[in-house]
Amino acid sequence: TPEIFDVDNGLDRDIFDINEDLGLDLFEGDIILDEIQER
């Protein structure tokens, strides 16, 4: 049987895991706020 490879190297990551691993500190994990929303 030929080898099989994972598209994301076996890391089964959700949006928040991806952003967390990148050290992003976004609002609720994946949101960029405008000035009004920041306030």
At 11, list the tokens.
């890391």
Q: Does position 39 bind other proteins by CB under 8 A? A: no
By CB under 8 A, residue 2 contacts other proteins = yes
CB of 21 to other proteins, least distance (A): 9
**In contact, 19 and 26? CB cutoff 8 Å:** yes
Residue pair 21/13 in contact by the 8 Å Cβ criterion: yes
Is 38 a binder of other proteins (CB under 8 A)?
Answer: no
Distance in angstroms (rounded) separating the CA atoms of residues 13 and 19: 10
Residues near other proteins (CB under 8 A) are: 1-8, 10-16, 18-20, 22, 24, 26-34, 37
